[in-house]
Amino acid sequence: MSSTCGIGKRREEHVQMDRRKKRRTDKKKEYAGERRTDKKKEYAGERQQETCGAALQPLKMIFQNALNRVLIAPDHRENLNNAFTALEEMYNDKQAQLQELKKDKAAQLQELKKDKAAQLQELKKDKAALQKHKAAQLEISQGLLQDTRRSLAEAREKCLQTESSRHAVLNNRALIEIGLLRKFPGMTTTQALDHFIAKHLLQNPKQRKSRKLRPDCVSVCNQLANQYNLACSHASVANELSGLMHEISKPVHSRMKAPAGYFVGGPSPLAQAIACVLLKLQGLGSIARDMDVFLIDDGGKIVCRLANGKIQPASPSKPGS
C-alpha cells in the first residue's frame, strides 16, 4: 500500500515538473514571438518610410475595392474619392517639394565645394608666394651675413698683421680661422676645417685604415724632414689632420723668445699638420700671401717660414736668424 502511494506521489511530481517546463517553454515562445513581431514591425516601418510613395498605389486599389464592396451612396462615394485624390495630390506636392529641396541642397553643397576649392587654391598660391619671398629674403640675408663674415675676416687679418709686427704672436688657430672664414663664410669653423681638410689635404678622410695624405701634403712633410730636420710618419700627420680642430683650440706654450712675428707650430706631427693647412690656404689666396708665418718646433726653435704657399728659410731680418 505504501509503495503504491509512493509511486503515485512520484508521478504527480513528474507531472508538475512537466507542467512547469511547458509553462517556461510557452513563455520563451511567447517572448520570441514578440521579438519577431517587433522586428517585423520595425522592418515594415522602415520599408514603409522608404517606399511610401510606391505604397500609395496599392493603398488606392485597396480603398477602391473597399468602396466597391460597401454600399455607400454615390454622392458619399464621390466625396471619398475626391478626398483620397486630394490626399494623393498633396502627397505628390510634398514629394515634389522634397525633391526640389534636395536639388537645391545638392546645388548649394556643390557651390560650396567649388568655393572652398577656389579658396584652397588661393591659399596654396599665397603660401607658395610667401615661401618664395621667404627664400629670397633668406638668400639675401645669407649673402649679407657671408659678406659681413668676409669683412670680419679681412679686419681680423689686418689686426693680426699689425699686432704681429709689434710683438710676437703665438697662435695656431687665429690665421687658420681667418682663412676658413673667408673661404667658407656660411659654415662654422669646425665644419669649414673638416670640409677643407677632406677636400684638399686627405684621401679617404673618414676611413682611418686607408686615410692618406694628398700629394701636396706628402711633399710638404718630405721637405720639412729633408731640409729642416722636422720628420715624422705620413700616417701620423694624416691622423693629426683628422682631429686638428681640437688641437689648434688648445693654448700654445713655448719657450720661444722673439720681439715680433706670427708663430705657429709645436711638436710633431702637429707642426707638420698646421704647415700643410696654412700653405694650402696661402696657395688658394684665402689668407695673405705676403704675411710671413714662422713655424716652430716643440722647443720653440724657428724651423722655417711659410709664405706665398711655399716653405722658405727663415729670413735673416726676422726673429730666430
pLDDT in tens, 61-101: 666 666 566 555 666 767 777 777 888 888 888 888 999 99
Distance CA 46, CA 52 (A): 10
> What per-residue confidence (pLDDT) applies to 53?
53
Distance CA 123, CA 138 (A): 22
Nearest of 55, 32, 51, 54 to residue 43 by alpha carbon: 51
Distance CA 292, CA 307 (A): 5
- Specify the pTM: 0.59
> What per-residue confidence (pLDDT) applies to 56?
61
> What per-residue confidence (pLDDT) applies to 210?
76
Mean pLDDT by 10 residues, the chain (321 residues): 61 77 77 69 56 59 63 66 80 88 91 91 91 89 84 89 90 93 90 93 82 93 94 93 90 76 92 95 89 89 92 67 41
Give the contacts of 173 (CB within 8 A, at least 6 positions apart).
248, 249
> What per-residue confidence (pLDDT) applies to 79?
75
> What per-residue confidence (pLDDT) applies to 316?
47
